[in-house]
A and B are shown apart, each in its own frame.
Chain A
Amino acid sequence: MTGIRPPQQKRSRASLERVLAAGTQLLEEEGWEAFTLAEVSRRAGVSIGSIYARMPSKDALFRAIQERSLQRIDELRDGYADLGRWRSFASRELVSAVIAELAATFEADARIVSVIMHRGAVDDAVAGRSSERLRALGDRFRALLLTRREEFVHGEPELAADVAFRTAYGTLARQIMYGPTFESPNAIPWDRLVGELGDACGTYLFGV
């Protein structure tokens, strides 16, 4: 459900791929204001007619680009759900590793994620699509941590796991959206920030 007619032929698939890549690059470089199908057409070397044959509007292209980014969230979710991957971690290490994986997913396409987040602030449809996938991610994040519920020092494990997710996700998301000096001028390097979030959430859930 991306609003794009799927291409049947190899050549069409390649040109759709070029359109998606050019659209992504344009958004990353120039932001939403400069995002037009005419410019995407120029950059992709695909005629405007062929683009319109595939998608009705620039919103449809934006939606397809967002969908690609959300697929990374789905992959992260599936990684959390694969409980065997995490069995060998001690509980505190598990928290750090789970948050590091969340951060790495953000980092992998930070620029387009930032553009999508800014659009989401003024376009409820964009925000709603992200929200749905983030909730599914949050479910798996919590379920993974709750496999260690007997080690929680917090009396309400479900609440604590949810607060840990909100804190880790919210802090990372705002760094991606506004950069490292919005809340405070003391920029903390990304990898340090990620480590400290793991430490803070680990202590909160499992104690020192």
Chain B
Amino acid sequence: MPVVSAYEPLFRFEYGGVVRSWAFYDLTVATTEPSLRPARQERSRASLERLLAAGTRLLEEKGYEGFTLAEVSRRARVSIGSIYARVESKDALFQAIHERFMAELTEAYGAFDEAGRWETLDTPELVRSAVRELAAGFTVNARLLSVIMHRGAVDQAVTARGSAASAVHAERFERLLLDRAGEIRHPDPALAVDMCFRMVFCTLARQIMYGPTFESAERVGWDALVDELGDLCVGYLLRR
């Protein structure tokens, strides 16, 4: 795994006539090193499966702090020796769980590409439904997602993998909305749909990561918030 080191200044930032270089993660860090040794036999594949499932449940219940290979071994009923034959460290198992979760999410967001689901909707309803679909990805496993997002704040490999997945999801969401570019009243439809993705993603990601009352003590239910974000995007894109 790449080592998290000092932030790399990636771009210059201009606002109010002041130019400064700004420190950020390098999101291009490759995460190509395989996290796990591949399982060759059916029996090993089954035990690998149990490891990933037990690890996932443990993270959901205890967070990263309670995530140890000893506990995964106990829950999965796979000896610690067999685990170490497959994964180098608990970090490698964590990375594998993240990888698998992102792949699941990407598969779920395949819904954006299913033309039949969308073509009968009028444009405002299509925007609202697309926002709901995007939101649904956050609740597939909100506990796990929250643990991953907190790790992402201190682990660059996690951040880079999350960002790479999000780029794929953004592209699909935006392509779906741009099918109706003719009805988008915003002067720059490509920018406007990208803004919609960011506004929905960021607002919901903060709810998942910090809960519903971090930046505001007002209580807004998840579904209500998602509907409001849908309306916000409809108004912004379609000027209504």
Measured between alpha carbons, how far is A159 from B4 in the docked complex, in Å? Answer: 40
Interface flag for A4 (CB, 8 Å): no
Cross-interface CB contact of A114 among B23, B228, B239, cutoff 8 Å: B23
Complex interface: chain B residues within 8 A of A17 (CB): none
Cross-interface CB contact of A170 among B5, B15, B202, cutoff 8 Å: B202
What's the nearest-Cβ distance from chain B to residue A81, in Å?
A: 16
Q: How many residues of chain B get a CB closer than 8 Å to chain A's CBs?
A: 60
Known: A200-B235, A208-B240. A165 touches B15 (CB 8 A): no
Interface flag for A70 (CB, 8 Å): no
- Please encode chain B, from 196 to 213, with 1 for each CB lying within 8 Å of some chain A CB and 0 for all others: 011101110110011001
Measured between alpha carbons, how far is A177 from B232 in the docked complex, in Å? Answer: 24
Taking A171-B198, A171-B203 as known contacts, 7 extra A-B pairs with beta carbons closer than 8 A to each other, sorted by chain A number, are A122-B153, A138-B215, A159-B220, A178-B25, A185-B170, A186-B190, A196-B195
Residues of chain A touching chain B, judged by Cβ–Cβ distance below 8 Å, are 28-31, 33-34, 103-104, 107, 110-111, 114, 117-118, 121-122, 127, 131, 134-135, 138-139, 142, 158-160, 162-167, 169-171, 173-175, 177-193, 196-197, 199-201, 203-204, 207-208
Residues of chain B touching chain A, judged by Cβ–Cβ distance below 8 Å, are 4-7, 10-11, 13-16, 22-25, 27, 149-150, 152-154, 159, 162-163, 166-167, 170, 174, 190-192, 194-195, 197-199, 201-203, 205-206, 209-210, 213-218, 220, 224-225, 228-229, 231-233, 235-236, 239-240
